[in-house]
Amino acid sequence: MVTSFAIRGPRSLLRQIREAMAGDAPAQAKLNMVVRIIAGSMVAEVCSIYLRRAGGELELFATEGLSADAVHVTRLKSGEGLVGEIVRLGRPLNLSDAPNHPAFSYRPETGEDPYHSFLGVPLLRGGRAIGVLVVQNRTERSYGEEEVEDLQIIAMVLAEMVGAGELLGQEVLKDVEIAPHRPERLKGARFADGLAYGKVILHEQPVAPEKLLSDDPAAEEIRLRAAVEALQKQIDDMLEGHHGLVGAPYEVLETYRMFAHDRGWNHSLEEAVRNGLTAEAAVERVRSEHRARLGQARDPYLRERLHDLEDLNDRLLRHLSGDGHKARELPDDAILVARNLGPADLLEYDRTKLKGLLLEEGSPASHAAIVARALDIPCVGRLAGLRDKVNEGDPVIVDAESAEAFLRPRPDVVAALDNRLAVRAQRRAEFARLRDTPAFTKDGAKVTLLMNAGLAVDLDILGETGAEGIGLFRTEFQFMVAEDMPRLDAQRALYEKVLDVADGQPVTFRTLDLGGDKLLPYMELEREENPALGWRAIRMGLDRPALLRLQLRALIWAARGRPLRIMFPLVASVDEFRAARAFVDAELAWAQRRGRPAPSRLDVGAMIEAPALLWHLDALLPMTDFVSVGTNDLMQYLFAADRGNPRVADRYDPLSPPALRALQQIQVACAETGTPVSVCGEMAGRPLEAFALVALGFDRLSMPPAGIGPVKQMVLSVDREAAQRGVISLLKGASGSVRNEIETLARKLYVAV
């Protein structure tokens, strides 16, 4: 039994290593010292470090016990020998009779003949093995579980020190694969248009090397326990439906619960902390191991489990840090990299410095993507394997035009990007020149272009865009970014500010559209099988009138003597609209009783998002002052395809006969009854789609701010009558998408799409 090590533990050993590293001896001498200290402490006759060269070969970098002549000479190809096997498997090998293992590869220059027992662990950074740490003994023995654990902890700290350049100089590391360093090009999906070049900021940050070791393991253990307990409770609550944190399906939560209560997982974390790691470093250590093991799994089920574990680790780190990213200092050209983001996450970063966003997962219709578009931050999503392929600070290009990410791009790629950025800047300048030009078609039809917004930060750009008002103000965003439920005063203050900034231009406030993927951490919601079809938006408002009435009160109060426009989301029946409108009347009467000034004019409208309304417009329209078509949801329900699910989200095209006919039907019914109608889904902000909408007769479009310039250019170049004739004739007899045909038509008519 290796008693001396078991008693002193890796904590004191790690301190010794640190001290050895502090001097200014040459790099090789330091590394030799490290292996000597580890061998001595573990009572091992051999201790060796292998690091991975750029081609994947593992080279012996330092040894205590093997022949010194073998250092930098012995190299094992990837997958070769026991060391290669450890990298391949991403986990330790503990053998009492190593030479008889089938993967053993004999290298005479090392002089390792007499050593039988062998314990090797991977040096893991993120999910990648950058080398291997080995101890060997003559006697045939099996190393104990604790020794394996201890060596893994040492390996983790060594890997971080090597990775951070603390152990070896840059010269020595030149050809060592401590981190991904080659240029790479990843194909994904466009979530928000634009181009950006900058430096990677990891949303889920690795633990800094100086924060790996704790001074007080007992206190650290208490901190870890508290965080694990909080996590377990959170997941139990979610399962029991007491918490609205996640709209995850039941099986996923069950898996979370299984992991969160898993003794092995907890034990590994506690062991790591007892041995001197900080709680954060312990999470990282266990996470790297899981990633290295499961990341290679081909089985989709296992990969899904890895995904669940990642999420659990992220949650645990959040419980440990308490705060999050608020205090983070960003470089001026930050490109945020994350697995996925909730709608509110993006808003925690300094928007003036955030130039782009890359996501490993996600969906273009998710609200995180909508927030990216609202903030005009280019975003590419669904980039497989992204997080393991970048390091904090890497240069990276977000190319949302081609839906790609270029990691560590070569200079020629950057130069080509510079040209494209210049072209974009020129186009932006053209749009800016058009800012005050009213949007009339060539044949004299006025098209009103409005902006979608949802937060105070959006208001800064209202003037720059040339929008004629706000066609959709998503009031739920204020709720999503708040720590707890915004009270009457906070709501009123925001609405007042919006009206002040709009300075007489119309603003359409949409009442709370919560539920679906928009959940509030502080609001308890029951778990639902199909949240998009569930208790959301106006359904919630009508069932919990206190919340809706409070919001209406805030709106009426904020307007005081000014015009006010209120719109209800996801109305699915005429009765719902009638009931919602009655609350407005009740609030108006309430304000009047208290002598508060009423709005100078009040318009109340419905969003058309539920297909059922299409066959009840004759009853609905006379009751409304206006309607607005929410094509994001309308398309989701029309095609029965979840807007947030990447597998089906892009399967159906809004530029196809069923969708365009539905839109046409709405437009015609509104024209016949004289009801003002707008389109405020994302499609209104894309020139080609907007061309089709204008052709169908829509003359009010509300969109993300970045869409206004390009759509205005389209409007100014279109002859509406010709477009109408063309688009309507294309619908006849078409069996599927008519996107290409509409594009050809637009080009034939010289329309800028």
Q: Which is nearer to Mg ion, 630 or 654 (CB)?
A: 630
Closest separation between CB of residue 678 and ligand PEP, Å?
10
Q: Which does 675 bind (CB under 5 to 8 A by kind): ligand PEP, Mg ion, none?
A: none
Q: What is the dihedral of CA 444, 463, 680, 748, to 10 degrees?
A: 40
Q: How many helices (H) and strands (E) does the chain have?
A: 27, 22
Size of the site for Mg ion (CB under 5 A): 2
Closest separation between CB of residue 609 and ligand PEP, Å?
5
Q: Which does 681 bind (CB under 5 to 8 A by kind): ligand PEP, Mg ion, none?
A: ligand PEP
Count of Cβ atoms closer than 10 Å to residue 559 Cβ? 25
404-407 and 354-359 strand pairing: unpaired
Closest separation between CB of residue 526 and ligand PEP, Å?
21
Count of residues making up the chain: 753
Q: Which is nearer to Mg ion, 244 or 630 (CB)?
A: 630
Alpha carbon of residue 417 to chain centroid: 24
- Picking from 67, 25, 26, the residue whose alpha carbon sits closest to that of residue 46 is 67
Closest separation between CB of residue 649 and Mg ion, Å?
14
Q: Which is nearer to ligand PEP, 146 or 376 (CB)?
A: 376
Q: Give the per-residue contact string, 724-743, with Mg ion (x = CB under 5 A; - = no).
A: --------------------
Q: Which does 631 bind (CB under 5 to 8 A by kind): Mg ion, ligand PEP, none?
A: ligand PEP
Question: What is the binding site for ligand PEP (CB under 6 A)?
Answer: 472, 474, 513, 609, 630-633, 680-681
Told to check if 630 binds Mg ion by CB under 5 A, we report yes
Instruction: Specify the 3-state DSSP secondary structure of 325.
Output: coil
Distance CA 168, CA 161 (A): 9
Instruction: Specify the 3-state DSSP secondary structure of 422.
Output: helix
Closest separation between CB of residue 510 and ligand PEP, Å?
8
Closest separation between CB of residue 631 and Mg ion, Å?
9
Closest separation between CB of residue 635 and ligand PEP, Å?
8
Q: Which does 474 bind (CB under 5 to 8 A by kind): ligand PEP, Mg ion, none?
A: ligand PEP
Closest separation between CB of residue 735 and ligand PEP, Å?
26
Q: Which does 375 bind (CB under 5 to 8 A by kind): ligand PEP, Mg ion, none?
A: none
Closest separation between CB of residue 645 and ligand PEP, Å?
15
Q: Which is nearer to Mg ion, 131 or 630 (CB)?
A: 630
58-64 and 46-52 strand pairing: antiparallel
Q: Which residues pair with 190 in a beta bridge?
A: 380
Q: Which is nearer to ligand PEP, 176 or 680 (CB)?
A: 680
The DSSP H or E segment spanning 59 is: strand 58-64
Instruction: Specify the 3-state DSSP secondary structure of 177.
Output: coil
Told to check if 394 binds Mg ion by CB under 5 A, we report no
Q: Which is nearer to Mg ion, 334 or 677 (CB)?
A: 677
DSSP 660-722: HHHHHHHHHHHHHHT--EEE-SGGGGSHHHHHHHHHTT--EEEE-GGGHHHHHHHHHH--HHH
- Choices 135-143, 193-201, 297-305, 627-635 (CB under 5 A): range interacting with Mg ion: 627-635
Largest Cα separation within the chain, whole Å, is 97
Q: Which is nearer to Mg ion, 469 or 569 (CB)?
A: 569
Q: Among all residues, which ones are annotated catalytic? A: 367, 680
Q: Which does 163 bind (CB under 5 to 8 A by kind): ligand PEP, Mg ion, none?
A: none
Q: Which is nearer to ligand PEP, 35 or 608 (CB)?
A: 608
Q: Which is nearer to ligand PEP, 37 or 629 (CB)?
A: 629
Question: For the range 545-548, what are the long-range contacts, defined as Cβ-Cβ under 8 Å and sequence gap of 24 or more?
Answer: 545/583, 547/512, 548/511, 548/512, 548/580, 548/583
- Picking from 627, 630, 618, the residue whose alpha carbon sits closest to that of residue 669 is 618
Told to check if 147 binds Mg ion by CB under 5 A, we report no
Who contacts 718 (Cβ-Cβ below 8 Å, separation ≥6)? 441, 442, 691, 694, 749, 751
Distance CA 681, CA 612 (A): 18
DSSP 370-385: HHHHHTT--EEE--TT
Distance CA 358, CA 187 (A): 11
Q: Select the residue whose beta carbon is closest to Mg ion and give its number.
A: 633
The DSSP H or E segment spanning 354 is: strand 354-359
The binder of Mg ion chosen from 177, 468, 633, 682 (CB under 5 A): 633
Positions in the binding site for Mg ion (CB under 5 A) = 630, 633
